[in-house]
Amino acid sequence: MAVLLVAEHDNVSLNAATPKAMSAALAIDPDVHILVAGNGCASVGDEAAAITGAAKVLLAEAPHLEHHLAEEMAALAVPLAAQYGAILAPATTTGKNYMPRLAALLDVAQISEITAVKSADTFERPIYAGNAMQTVQSSDAIKIITVRTTAFQAAETGGNAPIEKINVPAPAGLSQFGGDELTSSDRPELASAKVVVSGGRALGSKENFAKFIEPLAGRLNAAVGASRAAVDAGYVSNDYQVGQTGKVVAPELYIAIGISGAIQHLAGMKDSKVIVAINKDEEAPIFQIANYGLVGDLFKILPELQSELEKADG
């Protein structure tokens, strides 16, 4: 039976999470439709149509879909559901918000943050902050799934699927968008960056965080991440948090600076290809999973690292 993938986007362009979730959808069934819901988001529909493997794009446009409010997204998807064997969305804060609501309206379970598709009804997912992996089989007629996108390769582009405009139900009107404060940055996006430089409590202040982490991230063209302790202390905003309850990242290179390596932090970065830890405590748990460890004071090491990188660049 066909599968529906709900696209993640900001009404202007498709988020990198969607082509990755596409790979999970294709592993369930080759007949994948993509739902692009939003307001004035036709350009996103075009982008989705170009994802290799998409059989069709459903474009739902209405003012009340602009902010992907859970009440509206779930109400939109319910009447579509009967045609599909599974509905997937990336496990972003948007997907995590509306998908369980949709599942309950359809009277089915949700399978959260899958990391592998074993068959059309069997999936793997992490529990206990990634300290155990569970293989679960669903008995529901419709599988509602969120996808941990770091576990899947992005689908290619080059396709040209037909785009079909669909009817949008009247607004549920239960909730209203009240504004947002989005972090703008010239850096690559944390969730999909090739290199991530993360700072922890040890940075000590917002000023130090900017002074010591930013230049290194700049030099490596890296996204900046942080531990919960650094976010709680106000060094950076909440969207920098990596971990069990923040973002999950799996870059080529993850550099943890002044981060102890609590299981909740490891949950968000331990699948990175190469991990570097800089910490003055040689017993810090982060060293147990780091490929390269450097024991010492970060305030001394980071300027050295910066100048070594400059030397290496020639």
Partner 1 sequence: MKVLVPIKRVVDFNVKIRVRADGSGVDLANVKMSMNPFDEIAVEEAIRLREAGTAEEIIAVSIGPQKTQETIRTALAMGADRGIFISCDDELEPLGVARLLKCVVEAESPELVILGKQAIDNDCNQTGQMLAALLGWPQGTFASRLELDGGKARVTREVDGGLQTVILKMPCIVTSDLRLNEPRYASLPNIMKAKKKPLEEKPAADYGVDIAPRLKVLKTQEPAAREAGEIVANAAELVEKLQNEAGVI
Name the minimum Å distance from CB 127 to partner 1.
5
Please state the three-class secondary structure of 2-24 as a single string: CEEEECCECCCCECCHHHHHHHH
Name the minimum Å distance from CB 47 to partner 1.
18
Distances (CA, A) of 266 to 69, 90, 180, 204, 252: 31, 21, 29, 21, 15
Options 46, 80, 264, 299; binder of partner 1; rule CB under 8 A: 264
Residue holding tokens 């696209």? 7
How many CB atoms are closer than 10 A to CB 138? 18
Options 36, 41, 253, 257; binder of partner 1; rule CB under 8 A: 253
Is there binding between residue 244 and partner 1 (CB under 8 A)?
Answer: yes
Is there binding between residue 148 and ligand FAD (CB under 6 A)?
Answer: no
| Site for ligand FAD, residues 210 to 249, rule: CB under 6 A | 227-230, 241-246
How many CB atoms are closer than 10 A to CB 126? 20
Q: Are 54 and 22 in contact (CB under 8 A)?
A: yes
Residue holding tokens 């679960």? 136
Is there binding between residue 208 and ligand FAD (CB under 6 A)?
Answer: no
| Site for partner 1, residues 99 to 128, rule: CB under 8 A | 99-105, 107-113, 122, 126-128
Is there binding between residue 13 and partner 1 (CB under 8 A)?
Answer: no
Residue holding tokens 């139900």? 169
Is there binding between residue 294 and ligand FAD (CB under 6 A)?
Answer: no
| Site for partner 1, residues 39 to 68, rule: CB under 8 A | 67
Pairwise CA distance, residues 89 & 144, whole Å: 9
| Site for partner 1, residues 198 to 237, rule: CB under 8 A | 220, 228, 231-232, 237
**DSSP state, residue 152:** S
Options 51, 191, 279, 305; binder of ligand FAD; rule CB under 6 A: 279
Phi–psi pair at 276, nearest 5 degrees: -115, 135
Is there binding between residue 283 and partner 1 (CB under 8 A)?
Answer: no
**Site for ligand FAD, rule CB under 6 A:** 200-202, 227-230, 241-246, 258-260, 262, 264-265, 268, 279-281, 284, 297-299
